[in-house]
Structure formats: C-alpha cells, structure tokens
C-alpha cells in the first residue's frame, strides 16, 4: 500500500510539474529508523575491528526504476558517546538494491571518530556526498544500512562501552523530468 | 496498479481542463476561429438557441454563408510527423520510461486537427517532495498555479435531432434531447496539499468531490416562429415552443473519492476512500415527464440585427421509478461495494436553462457581431468582425470562455467564385499550462 501512496505522489508531481524541471525528493531517512538509530557497544580492549549495524528496506515511488537520476546527495551525522575504555569508531552509511549487497561496497558517507578514551563525546560529521547518475537509486526499492566499525585499545579491561547515535541522515534524489 | 493510478490521474486532469475546451467549443471553421469564435449568419448557435430565428430569412447577398465547410487538418500532418509510429511511441506508452503524461493530456485537450503555431509552454520548475516517516510536503512551485481551486465541469444540454413539419410558422416536431454534466472539485485537504504546499497530516482524507448527471429522451414539441411586425428589411420576429419532455433514462451521482493517510503517514497503509450515492432510472422503467419551453425574439433593421433566446425554461422532469444505490469502499475486503437503496421512488431532475443574446451589424463590406451564450455551465462571450477587400477578407475577434479567460482570434480568407479558402489563428489555454498557445486553422468552403 505504501507503493500506491508513493505512486500517487509521483503522479501528482509528474502531472503537475514535469516540463523540463526536475523532480526532487528530500527524504528524512532518520525518521524511518526510529528505534534503530542508536547502536550500543560493549567490547573488551584490544579487539577489532568489530561491526555493529542496522538496516532498513524502503519502497521508492513507482517509476524510480525507469527514471533518469541526475544525482543523489547524502548528508549524515552522528554522535559518539563513549563511556569507558578507548579506541576508535568508524561511522558508515550504505545503500544497496539488495540486503545481501548492503555492506559490501564503499560506504556513501563515512567519518572516523579518531582516538577516544574514557568519557568522551565526539561529533561525527562526514561531508555530504554527491553521486551523479547513481544507479543504486534507479530501482523501485532500496536498502539502507548504518554501520559502526569499532576497534578497541588494549588492555582487555576496561571494556570500551558507549553508543553511537545517528543524528541526521538525509537523502536528496534529483530525477529527470519524467518519473513515469 | 501503476497504470490504473495514472489512468485515474489522467482522466481527472482531462475532465478538469476539458472545461476550457468545452467553453471555447470545438470549431472546425477557420472563418469563425478568425473572428474569435463568433458565428455570424443563420447558422450555429443563434438558430439552436433562439426560436425566433427559425422565421428569419438570410440577409440578401450576405457574405460568408457556405453550403459546406471542410476543415484542412494540417495539425494531423504535424502530429504524424512528430509521432510517426504512434503505436510504438514511448511518449504515449504508460509502461515506457519515456511516457509523457503532459503530452498525452495536451494531445487530448488540443486534438491535433489544426496546426499548432505556438505550443503553450509547460511549467519547467522543479517539483520538490519532502518526505519523512510522518511527514510529507509537496512544493509544486509555479506549477501549483495550475491546480484548480474552483469546480471544473463540462456538459450542457443538446438536441441532436428535431424532425418535424411546419405550416405557416407553426411547427410540430419530435425533438431528441440530452443533458450531461460532470463536475469535479478538489477537497480542501488535497487542494491545500497540492496548491498551497501544506504538509500532509496522518489519518486525513485527501479527496476529490465529484458529481454528474446524464439523462436523455424525446420531447414532442409544438412551436411558432414568425414576423409580427415590419417587413423583411425591418421586422420584429418572435418564436416560442413548448416541449413535453419524455425522459427515457437518467443517472445522477454525487460522491467523493480519494485516500486516507496512515498514521504515521509512511508507516501505516494508505486506505482508499470512496463514497457515492447514485440515483437512476434505466431505460424501460417509467418515463420521466416534464414540460418546458423556449422563447426568442429578434429584430432586424437594415444593417442591424438583435436577438435574445432562452431555452428549456421550467424543464423539470419527474421520474417515478427511481432507484438509489450507495457506493463505498469496504476497508475489510478492500473492494468497492454497492448497497442497493430505496427503489421505485419519485425524484426530479432539471435541464439547465440556456440562453443567447446576439447582435450583428452588416454594412457594405463590413460585418461586426457579438454574442453571449450560456448553455448551462457559464457564459461565453464572442466579439468579432470581418472586413472584405475584393477577393480577400480580414477578420478579428476576441472571446471570453466559461473560465473567464480571454482568447483572441484573427485571420483572413480568399474567395474565388464558389470556393473559399480561410485561415484563422486562435489563442487557447486548453493545455496544461498557464500561458496561451496559438493554433492555426485552415478550412475550405463551398458556396
């Protein structure tokens, strides 16, 4: 039924506005990840890298698979709240057409916390990436995945504990004029 | 599903913008288009809507009364040149990546009969959607101005046939009649979402409100038309007719259709919502009955001619064998259900009163004219004229359609004996655009 909704929305945009203009979708992906926007970690020292990830499936407006995508801009931001221990955390965001292929390629946005130790709060602000003509989004559905890649410092104790909280994940998709 | 959604959208938009087309009329005569849609002489609207004109003779030596007018469809050549393989043209194939709904709509609204000199430009601004799990907002930019605020409708009454016999101005006939109307209006929520860029809210209906009626039948009629004062150069004519309407069948519906957002908007299913009440009386049921009449007066004095005609006065039909059905979308079975309602009850329908007022002035080689016509869904106004220069004629005119948009016409003609070639240019706003296009009409007339 979501597909119906999105298809109708696409029709409205296409019928009302498709001359030579673009169809632009600003998607607040974070809002769809409620409950999965925070990744907790508790790892002994001297291990890693260890991955913690979440993923979600999205239906895109009908016709995305047949449209020409001008470009896709992705803006992400996260905050690392480290409680104990030390190490570093790599924050990655992936998009893929299938769940199996989600964490296999190069992340769309990535940022490293650098060395952290003890109680520390580190903002992770990867630069906005722009992917012209991205074929991953040339589909009727898509998977989004967020990964925290953690490497801890020895000794074994204390454990490195804390959480990585996603603060922003916006995707701006610019289509050519004809979604249908 | 995708095709059906597109289809519904196209039909909705087509009906909406067809109102403009109906207001301007589908005219095949380049001479008339060149005068802004004005019809001069004893043809077309004045005879249809003014009962007195039945008795008025054509002006002696009046120019421009062809026996036959044949449109020259240069637009078809243009269209077939642009789309040589229409059946395989991706722009007209909903399953193709190149499908262009705007082109399809514009083709439907501007049938490619005449040559399109200037295409009405379609909006070129970006359309932006902001989407979150519980948020949706559309910004159509300049295109939002195309979203209709008022009710859009097409329809009116017509008399496709009227065979009869007449003696000394009295005429007895059996008139066939039809009345059809379709009206659509965006609900406040949908209008605000599309036109004013208001954010969508959860659990909210976004609907289109529609109504329509279709009825038809025959009407035994008796009428009189004659000159009651003066002579053929200066005279006063009156006409009247009484019709006993026998309705063969009718259907009338009022309803809303659309969808209800989920809660959250993108986290719960969107539910269709449809509800409509339909009254109808099928052919074979008892006839509808009603009485109505036409009146008209016309005055001619030398070069000046004036007329006023009103049709279907008091034409209310009573249907004694009506049935009412209720249509609604059943969210349990996800299907549209029809619930039979009361049967064999009496209801009434009313034909729209239509009227025309016209004036013409013909002196020497100049003919000027104007008319106001309301066929039940708003008035259209035409003002135009023709100046003859030897074999040539120059024409111009202006019109205001049912949506109060002003259009312009201009053109010319060449007449060689019994053959005339006419060229007319005509602005139009039938396209999905807020700017005018210009079409060029060509026709051949045989006198």
ipTM of the complex: 0.83
In this predicted structure, the answer to whether residue A178 has a pLDDT above a threshold of 80 is no
The first and second tokens of residue A39, run together, are 């990744």
Of A4, A14, A180, the CB nearest to B270: A4
In this predicted structure, the answer to whether residue B138 has a pLDDT above a threshold of 80 is yes
To 10 degrees, what angle do helices B2-24 and B101-109 make? 30
Among A115-119, B37-41, B246-250, the minimum mean pLDDT is found in B37-41
* Average pLDDT estimate for A37-62: 86
Which has more confidence, B39 or B38?
A: B38
d(CA A10, CA A4) in angstroms, rounded, equals 10
The first and second tokens of residue B265, run together, are 């908007």
Q: Is A121 an 8 Å CB contact of chain B?
A: no
Give contacts of B 260-299 with A, CB under 8 A: 261-262, 266-267, 269-271
Q: Is B194 an 8 Å CB contact of chain A?
A: yes
CATH topology of domain A2-175: Jelly Rolls (2.60.120)
Taking contacts as CB-CB distances below 8 angstroms, the residues of chain A near B98 are 178
Taken in order A8, A13, A19, A22, the sign of the CA dihedral is negative
A173: closest CA among B131, B200, B5?
A: B131
B161: closest CA among B171, B147, B175?
A: B175
Distance of CA B441 to CAs A151, B63, B185, B224, B283, Å?
77, 20, 33, 38, 41
| Alpha helix ranges (H) inside B58-140 | 74-82, 101-109
* Average pLDDT estimate for B371-382: 87
User: What DSSP designation does B25 have?
Assistant: -
The alpha-carbon gap from B148 to the nearest alpha carbon of chain A, in Å, equals 11
d(CA A168, CA A125) in angstroms, rounded, equals 9
Give contacts of B 407-446 with A, CB under 8 A: 432
Cis peptide before B365 (omega within 30 of 0): no
Q: pLDDT grade, residue B179 (50/70/90)?
A: very high
d(CA B216, CA A112) in angstroms, rounded, equals 76
Which residue, among B105, B131, B145, B262, would best test binding to A if mutated, counting the most A CBs under 10 Å from its CB?
B131
Taking contacts as CB-CB distances below 8 angstroms, the residues of chain B near A17 are 123, 125-127, 140-141, 143
* Average pLDDT estimate for B112-116: 83
Contacts of A54 (CB under 8 A, 6+ apart): A33, A36, A37, A39, A145, A146
What's residue B244's pLDDT? 97
d(CA B8, CA B170) in angstroms, rounded, equals 49
Tell me the pLDDT tens digit for each residue of A157-168: 899 999 999 999
d(CA B434, CA A167) in angstroms, rounded, equals 42
Give contacts of A 29-88 with B, CB under 8 A: 31-32, 34, 62-63, 66-68
Taking contacts as CB-CB distances below 8 angstroms, the residues of chain B near A11 are 5-6, 9, 101
Among A21-25, B279-283, B291-295, the minimum mean pLDDT is found in A21-25
B123: closest CA among A48, A142, A20, A130?
A: A20
Contact B184, B238 (CB under 8 A): no
In this predicted structure, the answer to whether residue B230 has a pLDDT above a threshold of 60 is yes
Neighbours of A127 (CB within 10 A): 11
The first and second tokens of residue B78, run together, are 């243009």
Which residue, among B1, B96, B98, B127, would best test binding to A if mutated, counting the most A CBs under 10 Å from its CB?
B127
Which has more confidence, A7 or B129?
A: B129
The first and second tokens of residue B195, run together, are 């036109």
Contact B401, B417 (CB under 8 A): no
A-to-B residue pairs, Cβ atoms closer than 8 angstroms:
129
* Average pLDDT estimate for B66-92: 81
Q: Average pLDDT over chain B, rounded to whole?
A: 85
Which has more confidence, B363 or B359?
A: B359
Three-state SS for A32?
helix
What's residue A7's pLDDT? 45
What's residue B412's pLDDT? 94
Radius of gyration for chain A, computed over Cα atoms and rounded to the nearest angstrom? 19
What's residue A78's pLDDT? 94
Q: Is B7 an 8 Å CB contact of chain A?
A: no
Of B101, B124, B147, the CB nearest to A20: B124
User: What DSSP designation does B91 have?
Assistant: G
The first and second tokens of residue B284, run together, are 């074979």
In this predicted structure, the answer to whether residue B23 has a pLDDT above a threshold of 60 is no
Contact B169, B226 (CB under 8 A): yes
Share of chain B above pLDDT 70, in %: 88
B23's torsion region: left (phi>0), alpha (psi -120 to 50) or beta? alpha
In this predicted structure, the answer to whether residue B5 has a pLDDT above a threshold of 60 is no
d(CA B210, CA B256) in angstroms, rounded, equals 6
Give the 3-state DSSP-derived string for B132-169, with helices as H, strands as E and coil as C.
ECCEEEEECHHHHHHCCCCCEEEEEEEEEECCEEEECC
Contact B198, B192 (CB under 8 A): yes
Q: Exposed, middle or buried, B4 (CB in 10 Å: 0-12/13-18/19+)?
A: exposed
What's residue B79's pLDDT? 84
What's residue A65's pLDDT? 62
Contacts of B132 (CB under 8 A, 6+ apart): A27, A28, A31, A32, B266
What's residue B19's pLDDT? 37
In this predicted structure, the answer to whether residue A170 has a pLDDT above a threshold of 70 is yes
Whether the full predicted model's pTM is greater than 0.90, yes or no, is: no
Tell me the pLDDT tens digit for each residue of A62-116: 556 666 778 889 999 999 999 999 999 999 999 998 899 899 888 999 999 999 9
Among B15-24, B283-292, B394-403, the minimum mean pLDDT is found in B15-24
User: What DSSP designation does B59 have?
Assistant: P
Q: pLDDT grade, residue B98 (50/70/90)?
A: low
Q: pLDDT grade, residue B102 (50/70/90)?
A: low
Which has more confidence, B218 or B36?
A: B218
Share of chain B above pLDDT 90, in %: 45
What's residue A79's pLDDT? 95
The answer to whether the CB atoms of A17 and B125 lie below 8 A apart is yes
The alpha-carbon gap from A101 to the nearest alpha carbon of chain B, in Å, equals 24
Tell me the pLDDT tens digit for each residue of A2-19: 444 444 454 455 444 444
Q: pLDDT grade, residue B48 (50/70/90)?
A: confident
Which has more confidence, B306 or B83?
A: B306
Taking contacts as CB-CB distances below 8 angstroms, the residues of chain A near B102 are 15, 18-19
Give the 3-state DSSP-derived string for B31-49, with helices as H, strands as E and coil as C.
HHHHCCCCCCCCCCHHHHH
Q: pLDDT grade, residue B115 (50/70/90)?
A: confident
Length of chain A: 180
Share of chain A above pLDDT 90, in %: 44
Q: Is B134 an 8 Å CB contact of chain A?
A: yes
Taking contacts as CB-CB distances below 8 angstroms, the residues of chain B near A32 are 132-133, 266-267
Among B33-42, B102-111, B264-273, B282-291, the minimum mean pLDDT is found in B102-111
What's residue B122's pLDDT? 67
Cis peptide before B435 (omega within 30 of 0): no
**Burial call A85-113: b when 16+ CB within 10 Å, e when fewer:** bbbbbbbbbbbbbeeeebbeeebbbbbeb
C-alpha B280 chain-centroid distance: 24
Angle at A75 between CA A71 and CA A81, to 5 degrees: 160
B296: closest CA among B119, B81, B51?
A: B51
Contact B2, A7 (CB under 8 A): yes
B436: closest CA among B445, B444, B426?
A: B426
**Residue B17 CB-half CA count within 13 A:** 24
Strand-pair partners of A28: A170
Q: Is B86 an 8 Å CB contact of chain A?
A: no
User: What DSSP designation does B114 have?
Assistant: S
The answer to whether the CB atoms of A16 and B122 lie below 8 A apart is no
Among A60-64, B167-171, B175-179, B289-293, the minimum mean pLDDT is found in A60-64
Q: Where are the beta strands (DSSP E) in B287-344?
A: 288-301, 304-313, 316-330, 335-340
The first and second tokens of residue B386, run together, are 């023709």
The answer to whether the CB atoms of A31 and B102 lie below 8 A apart is no
What's residue B180's pLDDT? 92
Which has more confidence, B178 or B401?
A: B178
B50: closest CA among B284, B355, B278, B270?
A: B355
Angle at B98 between CA B96 and CA B101, to 5 degrees: 95
Q: Is A180 an 8 Å CB contact of chain B?
A: yes
Tell me the pLDDT tens digit for each residue of B283-330: 999 999 999 999 999 999 988 999 999 999 999 999 999 999 999 888
Of A9, A19, A32, the CB nearest to B122: A19
Q: Average pLDDT over chain A, rounded to whole?
A: 82
């Amino acid at each position: 039924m979501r597909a119906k909704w999105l298809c109708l929305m696409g029709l409205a945009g296409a019928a009302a506005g498709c001359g030579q203009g673009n169809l632009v979708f600003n998607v607040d992906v974070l809002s769809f990840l409620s409950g999965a926007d925070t990744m907790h970690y508790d790892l002994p020292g001297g291990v890693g890298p260890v991955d913690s990830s979440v993923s979600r499936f999205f239906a895109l407006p009908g016709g995305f698979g047949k449209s020409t995508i001008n470009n896709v801009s992705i803006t992400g931001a996260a905050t690392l709240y480290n409680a104990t221990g030390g190490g570093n955390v790599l924050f990655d965001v992936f998009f893929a057409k299938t769940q199996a292929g989600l964490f296999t390629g190069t992340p769309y946005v990535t940022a490293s916390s650098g060395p952290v130790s003890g109680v520390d709060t580190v903002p992770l602000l990867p630069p906005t990436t722009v992917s012209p003509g991205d074929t991953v989004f040339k589909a009727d559905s898509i998977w989004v995945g967020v990964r925290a890649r953690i490497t801890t410092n020895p000794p074994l104790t204390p454990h490195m504990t804390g959480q990585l909280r996603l603060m922003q994940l916006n995707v701006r998709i610019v289509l050519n004029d004809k979604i249908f | 599903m995708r095709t059906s959604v597109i289809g519904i959208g196209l039909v909705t938009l087509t009906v909406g913008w067809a109102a403009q087309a109906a207001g301007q009329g589908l005219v095949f005569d380049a001479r008339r288009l060149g005068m802004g849609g004005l019809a001069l002489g004893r043809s077309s609207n004045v005879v249809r809507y003014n009962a007195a004109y039945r008795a008025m003779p054509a002006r002696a030596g009046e120019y421009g009364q062809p026996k036959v007018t044949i449109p020259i469809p240069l637009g078809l050549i243009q269209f077939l040149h642009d789309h040589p393989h229409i059946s395989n043209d991706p722009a007209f194939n909903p399953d193709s990546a190149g499908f262009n709904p705007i082109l399809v709509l514009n083709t439907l609204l501007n049938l490619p009969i005449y040559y399109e000199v200037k295409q009405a430009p379609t909006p070129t601004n970006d359309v932006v959607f902001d989407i979150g799990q519980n948020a949706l907002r559309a910004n159509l930019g300049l295109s939002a101005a195309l979203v209709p605020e008022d009710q859009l409708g097409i329809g009116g009454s017509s008399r496709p046939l009227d065979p009869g016999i007449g003696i000394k101005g009295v005429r007895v006939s059996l008139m066939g009649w039809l009345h059809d109307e379709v009206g659509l209006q965006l609900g406040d929520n949908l209008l605000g979402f599309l036109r004013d860029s208001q954010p969508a809210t959860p659990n909210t209906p976004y609907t289109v409100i529609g109504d329509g009626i279709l009825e038809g039948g025959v009407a035994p009629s008796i009428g009189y038309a004659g000159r009651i004062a003066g002579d053929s150069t200066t005279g006063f004519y009156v006409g009247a007719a009484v019709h006993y309407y026998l309705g063969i069948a009718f259907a009338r519906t009022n309803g809303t259709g659309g969808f209800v957002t989920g809660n959250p908007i993108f986290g719960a299913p969107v539910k269709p919502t449809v509800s409509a009440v339909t009254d109808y009386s099928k052919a074979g049921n008892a006839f509808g009955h009603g009485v109505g009449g036409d009146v008209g007066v016309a005055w001619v004095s030398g070069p000046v001619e004036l007329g006023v005609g009103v049709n279907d006065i008091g034409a209310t039909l009573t249907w004694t064998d009506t049935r009412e059905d209720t249509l609604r979308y059943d969210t349990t079975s996800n299907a549209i259900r029809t619930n039979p309602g009361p049967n064999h009850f009496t209801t009434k329908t009313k034909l729209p009163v239509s009227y025309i007022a016209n004036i013409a002035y013909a002196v020497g080689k100049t003919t000027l004219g104007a008319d106001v016509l309301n066929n039940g869904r708003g008035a259209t106004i035409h003002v135009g004229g023709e100046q003859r220069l030897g074999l040539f004629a120059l024409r111009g005119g202006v019109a205001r359609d049912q949506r109060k948009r002003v259009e312009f016409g201009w053109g010319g003609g060449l007449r060689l004996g019994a053959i005339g070639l006419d060229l007319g240019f005509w602005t139009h706003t039938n396209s999905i655009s807020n700017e005018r296009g210009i079409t060029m009409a060509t026709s051949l007339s045989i006198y």
